[in-house]
Amino acid sequence: MLNDIEKTVTLSRVKAKDEVRDVSRILSYVEKLKSVDTSQTEPLFHFPETSNSVREDAYKHTSPQVRKMMTCMREEEGEFLRVSSILC
């Protein structure tokens, strides 16, 4: 199990060490879920009153707050935002 958790740490894109042992203990605690017979049950992903909310597929101008949020990106080159090298 610890091996699988360590692989998950890589998938999670987060540097972690002591947390791996804690996650293993939490997984042991939640194991009891497997004993519940759910063969006749559907998952409850949404509550019944919720329905899809749609709008017209039409262009809306970019609101000023979007530009403001993007200023959190550190380096701009004209219209572009610089990120670290993608090819590792």
Partner 1 sequence: MLTIKEAKKGVDEKEFSVSELVSHFRSRMEERKDINAIISSFDDSSSGKGELYGAVLVVKDNILVKGEKCTAASQMLESYEAPFSATVVNKLKEKGAVIIGKANMDEFAMGSSTETSFFGPTKNPLSPYLVPGGSSGGSAAAVMGGMCNAALGSDTGGSIRQPASFCGLVGMKPTYGAVSRNGLIAMSSSFDQIGPLTRNVEDAEMVFNAIYGKDEHDSTTVDFPLLKERGSRIGVPKEYFTDGMDKGVREVIDKAISKIESEVVEISLPNTEYALPAYYIIMASEVSSNMARFDGLRYGSCSRSRDILESYINSRGDYLGSEVKRRIILGTYSLSSGYYDAYYLQAQKVRNIISRDFEKAFQEVDFILTPTTPVLPFAIGERIDDPVSMYLADVFTVTANLAGLPAISLPCGERDGLSVGAQLIAPRFYERSLFREAEKLERLWKD
Q: How many residues bind partner 1 (CB under 8 A)?
A: 49
What count of residues does the chain have? 88
Measured distance CA(48)–CA(12) in Å, rounded: 32
By the 8 A CB rule, do 5 and 14 touch? no
Q: Which of 3, 53, 60, 77 binds partner 1 (CB under 8 A)?
A: 53
**Rule CB under 8 A: is residue 62 a binding residue for partner 1?**
no
Sole binder of partner 1 in the list 3, 14, 58, 61 (CB under 8 A): 14
CA 28 – CA 22 distance, rounded (Å): 10
Report residue 52 CA to chain centroid gap: 21
Please give the residue ranges that form the binding site for partner 1 (CB under 8 A).
4-5, 8-9, 11-16, 18-20, 22-23, 25-27, 29-34, 36, 38, 41-47, 49-50, 52-53, 65, 68-69, 72-74, 83-88
